[in-house]
Structure 1
Amino acid sequence: MNRIGFWVVSLLLLLAAASSVLFVVDERRYGVVYHLSEISRVVKQPGLHVKWLPAPFQTVDYLDKRLLTLESPSLEPTLTEEKQWVVIDWYVRWRITDPEAYIRSVGRTEEAGAAQLGRVVRSAFQEEVNRRTVRQLLSEDRRGLMQDVLRQVSESVGGSPVEGSKPASDAASATSAEQPVAQDGVQAAEAKVELDEHGQARVKLSWGIEIVDVRITRVDYSKDITESVFKRMEAERTREANRLRSEGQAEGERIRANADRQRTETLAAAYREAQEIRAQGDSAATETFARAYSQDPDFAQFYRSLQAYRSSLGKPGDVMVLDPNESEFFKAMRTPGAEGRRP
């Protein structure tokens, strides 16, 4: 029984020891082995690997080797060549190609690289936008802007100038700048020495990353300018609407005036024609009455008197105050034989 317990404990200790020195590197990541916070080696091949000492003497961190995307972190307005403020949205595709240089220059995490890269890209966009107009930013010319930003950012992350310069005579000794420089507990990157146009040596540090692409997703005016543009557009649309409305009212008045004129002309023509027809009818009636009355004048006079009586006394409530003996109105009633002449 004791022998079984011994083997079980031994197996557990063996597994614990193996787990403290074995680690797995995913195919999407780099494995970085640290020995007392110093980079010991970088594992790029996926699979099971061994470190010689357990934690905390040796630890393992991981960095993503896939293509990473960095979007513009803030909407800070940028001044164009024509002194107008615009807001640009952009994104950058980048990847870590040299984990050791990346850690020594930037930091141990992808977030550290994204933060520093964001500042570099934003500065490059500001510099390039300052040399261009809004029309160029909104046209096909912005392809050149993206290419210039890509080139500038690639040069920056490929080697950032360190403050201070050295004479050319000290360039040989400057090559010893490969010495590590402490940076938050991590050694600095190996330095490269280049001579500028004045014959002076400049020390440059590589970030260990590759900039794959830089793209612009949106170009817009700043909020204040956008509001003023909207107000100006609203005023222009209101002015155009008022113009169209006034033109419509004027057209409506013209149409109504034309219709009134046509109505007046039509009514006048109809009235004139009606008067002509009425005049012709009255003339014909007068001629007919004249012919009829010429045959028997007395009867015609008597008939007209009856029509006058009917029109004057035919309505209920009509009252006339006349002297029947003297008024000519009742002459037909006083004429002898009038009863015999009634039709």
Structure 2
Amino acid sequence: MSNRSIVVLAIIGLVLIVLSNTLYIIKETERAVLLEFGRLVESDIKPGLHIKKPLINEVRKFDARILTVDAAPEEFLNAEKKGMSVDSFVKWRIIDVGKYYTATNGEEVRAARLIAQRANEGLRNQFGKRTLHEVVSGERDQLMHELVDTLNKLTQGELGVEIIDVRVKRIDLPDRVSGAVFDRMRTGREREAREHRSKGIEQAEVIRADADRKRTVIEAEAYRDSEKIRGEGDAKATAIYSSAYNRDPEFYSFVRSLTAYKAAFKDKGDMMIVDPESDFFKYLKSSTAK
């Protein structure tokens, strides 16, 4: 390779190095500032291809998307002076790149720490004005809206960032009081269970007594009706027997004797000692009684 070729290649390499240090690209998902010897000269560079002075200018790029600060759980006091552990997170994004760089030196970790501090202060103030019930259910949305508005007034002016949303992931009682609270809850539930159980036993006794009374009444009425029917049947049977006897007393006496014979000689092992001349055998001697 000739000396001329080497010189050409060196020139081309030098041009490429200069171009690589002169041209830079800002993506749609980025925000950037331009520095000159560490001094801010352009605070909000738009997305696209740009030119800078090599070795003089420096470009700092930042994420322009919505970011999340997952704050560590903090303990707050509510309006009832009861402590609670609150776990929350914050959604934010950069809106003023120059102010953001000046306040945080472009360090996302530092920005997240400052946002978390201000969010915790806002939560402490909001929780201090409300009861536990209001915080958990009644006024939770209102609390978040007020907090977002308050934080935006601070962060937009101080940090150049916008707070999109603040949400509470979890609310717990502190470990030192949760045991006592759970014990009180358990005692209350056991007391309610005993009350329900005693009421159930009382109602069961009332139902059982009413059922026993109804059973006694039903049995008495059934016995009364059965005796009435039995009496009527006996009366009819007596009337039938009397009518039959009046029509043919001899035949009635004969049937009665057959019934007595059948009952007396039902079992083969039965033994009777009776005078053969007694009236019991009168129909065995003759078809007509004498």
Q: If the TM-score is normalised by the length of the shorter chain, which range does it land in? A: 0.7 to 0.9
SS at match of 2:45: coil
Please, what is the CA RMSD of the aligned residues? 4.1
Alignment of 1:157-168 (within 5 A): 158=157
Contact 2:80 2:131 (8 Å CA) reproduced: yes
Q: CA deviation at 1:237?
A: 6.0
Distance 1:247 1:108 in 2: 69
Contact 2:144 2:166 (8 Å CA) reproduced: no
Partner in structure 2 of residue 41 of structure 1: 41
Partner in structure 1 of residue 218 of structure 2: 266
Distance 2:33 2:68 in 1: 22
Residue 280 of structure 1 aligns with an amino acid whose one-letter code is E
- Cα pair distance change 1:150/1:287, threshold 3 Å: closer
Structure 2 unpaired stretches of 5+: none
Partner in structure 2 of residue 277 of structure 1: 229
Residues 1:339 and 2:289 are matched in the alignment? no
TM-score normalized with structure 2 length: 0.72
Residue 273 of structure 2 aligns with an amino acid whose one-letter code is L
Structure 1 unpaired stretches of 5+: 159-206
Contact 1:136 1:142 (8 Å CA) reproduced: no
Distance 2:228 2:138 in 1: 78
Partner in structure 2 of residue 147 of structure 1: 146
- Cα pair distance change 1:298/1:16, threshold 3 Å: closer
- Cα pair distance change 1:296/1:153, threshold 3 Å: closer
- Cα pair distance change 1:73/1:290, threshold 3 Å: same
Distance 1:270 1:144 in 2: 73
Residues 1:222 and 2:173 are matched in the alignment? yes
Per-residue CA distance 1:145-186 (angstroms, 9 max, x = gap): 75367446744774xxxxxxxxxxxxxxxxxxxxxxxxxxxx
Q: CA deviation at 1:316?
A: 3.5
Distance 1:292 1:148 in 2: 110
Partner in structure 2 of residue 9 of structure 1: 10
Per-residue CA distance 1:102-126 (angstroms, 9 max, x = gap): 4443223222211222123213322
Partner in structure 1 of residue 19 of structure 2: 18
- Cα pair distance change 1:256/1:208, threshold 3 Å: closer
Partner in structure 2 of residue 320 of structure 1: 271
Residue 235 of structure 2 aligns with an amino acid whose one-letter code is S
Distance 1:10 1:77 in 2: 65
Contact 2:67 2:91 (8 Å CA) reproduced: yes
Instruction: Give the number of equivalent residue pairs.
Output: 282
Distance 2:131 2:76 in 1: 11
- Cα pair distance change 1:331/1:69, threshold 3 Å: same
Residue 260 of structure 2 aligns with an amino acid whose one-letter code is A
Distance 1:149 1:133 in 2: 20
Percent identity over the alignment? 25
